[in-house]
Amino acid sequence: MDKINTIKFKLIDALLLICALLPLISIIILQILTEPASSGINLTGARIFFTVKMPLQDMYITEAQINSWAVILTIFFLCLYFTHGLSEKAYTKRQIAMEWVIEKTEALVTGNMGTAFSGFAPFIAAIIGISAFSSLISLLGLFPPTSDLNITAGWAILVFILITYYKFKCGPLGYVKSFGDPVPMLAPLNVISEVATPVSMAFRHYGNILSGVVISVLLGTGLQGLSSIVLGWLPGILGEIPFLQIGIPAVLSVYFDVFSGCLQAYIFAMLTMMYVSSAFNVDEFERRKLKKQQKKIK
Amino acid sequence: MLELAIGIIVGCCALGAGIAMVAGIGPGIGEGNAVAKACEAIGRQPESKGAVTSTMLMGCAVAETTGLYALVIAILLIFVAPNLLVDVLMGAIAA
């Protein structure tokens, strides 16, 4: 109890919070410095900051990558802040809050995937955290990394690798056999549906966030034009006040940025849990394990 | 003549994008059905509100996918295809 009241503890706390805020502040400054002046509908993809020469194809370092690294750093330092000063008995509010979060995540994972996958809770929590945070970053006026297909496709490929890994747990033969289910004639369709899983996951997340961004930009530009029509007859700077842009875009922002961003994070995590747990045949795995043990004994 | 060709390319890309978004009808009907059934279920069994709501959101997200494919194609047609096709045209003229 007295450990958390020392000056050193509070200093480290403040330092961690500053470290968590620093990446966000730095990408806001980067955005202000590098944003090209433009008028009208400004809908571009992620800006390319610089290009790294690579043997096969040039690697582009874009806004999406920089922003997602900033999000990762922020989440990392927030985690350090929330786990700072853990004790066996919870004294601090943050420890109680974090214990609640971890309990909820573990209940979600074991409820959806079964007890065999209880080790998946950190992974699922990481997916929800980074996805929600990446989408919510657009509230600061920044480019949300999830509205770039490359970022969501990266996560979807990760999930695809996990699915394939858990299918291989029942042996390579079992993996090949799973395509001939229910009849071997349907194997091409099964291959297509296997490939379609990561594609649809990536497109779903990307499309939802991107549609929000597109509609917000269109509405903002439309309201600017409308207010210049209404106030355009006033002389000088008075005619340029975009008074309709105050408040109205915020209503859409609550749906597209806050609700849709959090919902897509939840859905991405739910689909990950469902696909991975349905790829793993627990009974078959147990049977193989038992067989191997019996062979060893003989 | 060249202006006409470029105009046809850009105009047809915009028309294609508009026609692609007709696919938005499907998810609209599907999600409407899902939400209607969820409301009925909650009305019948108010105690199962939490489970019904999360399952409904899940189903809505999956039903939305076809609409989002159309959106991606429309966005490609508006922002990517015109530049690409005009480049192809210029290459054909230069050759």
Distance CA A42, CA A169 (A): 49
pLDDT above 90 for B54: no
Closest residue in chain B to residue A196, using alpha carbons only: B65
A60 φ, ψ (degrees, to nearest 5):
-100, 125
Distance CA A99, CA A85 (A): 13
Write down the pLDDT at residue A1: 58
Looking at the complex, does the CB of residue A43 fall below 8 Å from at least one CB of chain B? yes
- Report whether A113 contacts A273 (CB < 8 A): yes
Write down the pLDDT at residue A162: 92
A241 φ, ψ (degrees, to nearest 5):
-75, 120
pLDDT above 80 for A38: no
Q: Where are the domains of chain A?
A: 2-21+47-288
Q: Which amino acid would we find at residue A94?
A: R
Cβ contacts of A84 within 8 Å, gap of 6 or more: A9, A12, A13, A16
| Gyration radius from chain A CA atoms | 25
- Report whether A221 contacts B86 (CB < 8 A): no
Write down the pLDDT at residue A141: 82
Q: Which amino acid would we find at residue A214?
A: V
Indicate the pTM of the whole model: 0.86
Sort strands A59-62 and A48-52 into parallel, antiparallel or unpaired. antiparallel
Distance CA A256, CA A250 (A): 10
* Inter-chain contacts counted by CB atoms under 8 A, chains A and B: 32
CA contacts within 13 A on the Cβ side of A206:
23
Write down the pLDDT at residue A4: 67
Write down the pLDDT at residue A39: 61
- Nearest alpha-carbon partner for B54 in A273, A180, A57: A273
pLDDT tens digits, residue range A141-166?
888 999 888 999 999 999 999 999 98
* Enclosing H/E stretch for A165: helix A149-168
A297 φ, ψ (degrees, to nearest 5):
-65, -40
Q: Distance of CA A168 to CAs A162, A171, A290, Å?
A: 10, 5, 17
Q: Would you give the distance in Å from CA A33 to the centre of its chain?
A: 26
Looking at the complex, does the CB of residue A82 fall below 8 Å from at least one CB of chain B? no
- B-chain CB neighbours of A211 within 8 Å are 68, 71
Q: What are the beta bridge partners of residue A50?
A: A61
ipTM: 0.79
Write down the pLDDT at residue A3: 67
- A-chain CB neighbours of B69 within 8 Å are 203, 207
pLDDT tens digits, residue range A118-127?
888 999 999 9
Q: Are B64 and A266 inside 8 Å of each other by CB?
A: no
Distance CA A108, CA A119 (A): 12
User: Percent of chain A scored above 90 by pLDDT?
Assistant: 29
- Helical segments of chain B, H only: 2-20, 25-44, 49-79, 81-94
Write down the pLDDT at residue A15: 92
Closest residue in chain B to residue A264, using alpha carbons only: B61
Length of chain B equals 95
| Residue at token pair 């997200």 | B61
Looking at the complex, does the CB of residue A203 fall below 8 Å from at least one CB of chain B? yes
When CB atoms are compared, the residue of A208, A210, A267 closest to B75 is: A210
The domains found in chain B, sorted by start residue, are 2-89 (1.20.20.10)
Write down the pLDDT at residue A140: 86
Instruction: Name which residue leads in pLDDT, A77 or A4.
Output: A77
pLDDT above 80 for A238: no
pLDDT above 70 for A40: no
Instruction: Name which residue leads in pLDDT, B13 or A91.
Output: B13
pLDDT above 70 for B4: yes
Q: Which amino acid would we find at residue A222?
A: G
| Residue at token pair 């990394």 | A145
| Interface with chain B: mutation pick from A44, A108, A147, A204, highest number of B CBs within 10 Å | A204
